[in-house]
Amino acid sequence: MARMVQEKGGGFDVVVVGAGITGAGVARDAALRGLKVCLLDQHDLGSGTTWGSSGMIHGGLRYIEYDWETTRVSCLDGGYIKRIAPHLLFPVVFLLPIYPDDPFGIEKKETALEVYDRFQPYKAGRPHVRLSAAEALALEPGLRPGLRGAVTMDEWGVDAARLVALNALGAREAGAEVRTYTEVIGVAREGTRVTGVQVRSRLTGAVETVAARVVCNAAGPWGPALAGMAGASLKLRPAKGVHLIYDRRISNCALGVEAIDGRDLLLVPHSNQTIVGTTDDDFYGDPEHLEVTDDEVEYILQAFERVLPSIRQHRIAHANAAVRPTLYEWRRYEDDLSREYEVFDHGTRDGVPGLVSIAGGKMSMFRKMAEDTVDVLLRVLGLPFVPTSTHTAPLPGGESTVDVAEVAGNFGLPLPVAQRLVARHGARAEALMGDAEPEDRRALLCECEPVTRGELRYVVRTESVERLEDLYRRVRCTGGACLGMRCAWPAARLLGEEKGWNARRVAEEVHDFLDARWLQRPSVVRGATAAQEQLYRGAVYALGEVCDPAPAAEHVAAPVLAAGD
The pattern of x and - marking residues 235 through 264 that bind ligand FAD according to CB under 6 A reads ------x-----------------------
DSSP letter, residue 556 = B
- The answer to whether 491 and 471 have CB atoms below 8 angstroms apart is yes
Q: Give yes or no for residue 71 binding ligand FAD (CB under 6 A).
A: no
* Minimum gap (Å) between residue 42 Cβ and ligand FAD: 4
Q: Nearer to ligand FAD by C-beta: 16 or 507?
A: 16
Report which residue's Cβ sits closest to ligand FAD. Answer: 20
| Phi and psi at residue 131, to the nearest 5° | -120, 145
CB 307 within 8 A of CB 257: yes
User: Residue 92: in which H helix or E strand, if any?
Assistant: strand 89-98
Q: Pick between residue 235 and residue 526 the one whose CB is nearest to ligand FAD.
A: 235
Which value, to the nearest 10 degrees, does the dihedral of the CA atoms of residues 211, 217, 218, 224 take?
140
* Least CB distance to ligand FAD at residue 467 (A): 13
- CA dist 421 → 86, 248, 276 (Å): 14, 19, 25
- CB neighbours of 77 closer than 8 A, spacing ≥ 6? 364, 365, 366, 367, 368
- Select 158 or 485, whichever has its Cβ closest to ligand FAD: 158
CB of residue 529 to ligand FAD, shortest distance in Å? 26
Count of residues interacting with ligand FAD (CB under 6 A): 37
Site membership for ligand FAD, residue 55 (CB under 6 A): yes
Minimum CB distance to ligand FAD, residue 19 (Å): 6
Quick check: 222 binds ligand FAD (CB under 6 A)?
Answer: yes
- Side-chain-facing half-sphere of 203: CA atoms under 13 Å: 14
What character string, x for contact with ligand FAD (CB under 6 A) and - otherwise, covers 288-327?
----------------------------------x-xx--
**Of 33, 42, 174, 457, which one interacts with ligand FAD (CB under 6 A)?**
42
Binding pattern to ligand FAD, positions 401-440, x when CB under 6 A? ----------------------------------------
Bridge-based pairing state of the strands 239-246 and 207-217: unpaired
Binding residue (CB under 6 A) for ligand FAD from 23, 59, 79, 479: 23
Nearer to ligand FAD, 324 or 467 (CB): 324
Binds ligand FAD (CB under 6 A): choice among 184, 232, 421, 471: 184
Q: Does the protein bind ligand FAD through residue 476 (CB under 6 A)?
A: no
Long-range contacts of 336-339 (CB under 8 A, 24+ apart): 336/66, 337/237, 337/239, 338/66, 338/67, 338/70, 339/60, 339/63, 339/67, 339/70, 339/74
Query: Which residues, listed in sequence order, are joined to residue 184 by a DSSP beta bridge?
Result: 199
Site string for ligand FAD, 202-221 (x = CB under 6 A): ----------------xxxx
Tell me the C-alpha to C-alpha distance, in Å, between residue 323 and each of 122, 236, 286: 28, 11, 9
Using CB under 6 A, which of 21, 37, 98, 253 touches ligand FAD?
21
**Closer CB to ligand FAD, 388 or 452, in the complex:** 388
d(CA 394, CA 167): 10
**Which one of the spans 39-47, 96-104, 115-123, 550-558 is the region binding ligand FAD (CB under 6 A)?**
39-47
Q: Which residues pair with 241 in a beta bridge?
A: 322
Q: Which stretch binds ligand FAD (CB under 6 A): 37-45, 250-258, 301-309, 405-413?
A: 37-45
Asked if 188 and 46 touch (Cβ cutoff 8 Å), the reply is no
**Cβ contacts of 74 within 8 Å, gap of 6 or more:** 57, 58, 59, 60, 63, 339, 362, 364, 365
- Closest separation between CB of residue 245 and ligand FAD, Å? 12
Residues 344-403 that bind ligand FAD (CB under 6 A): 361-364
Tell me the closest approach of the beta carbon of residue 549 to ligand FAD, in angstroms.
36
Side chain identity at residue 481, one-letter code: A
Q: Is 208 left (phi over 0), alpha (psi -120 to 50) or beta?
A: beta
User: Binding of ligand FAD at residue 157 (CB under 6 A)?
Assistant: no
Query: How far is CA 52 from each of CA 252, 337, 453, rounded to the nearest angstrom?
Result: 23, 19, 26
Contact partners, residue 50, CB within 8 Å, separation at least 6: 20, 21, 160, 161, 163, 164, 220, 322, 363
Contacting positions for ligand FAD (CB under 6 A): 17-23, 40-43, 47-50, 52-56, 183-184, 218-222, 226, 241, 278, 322, 324-325, 361-364
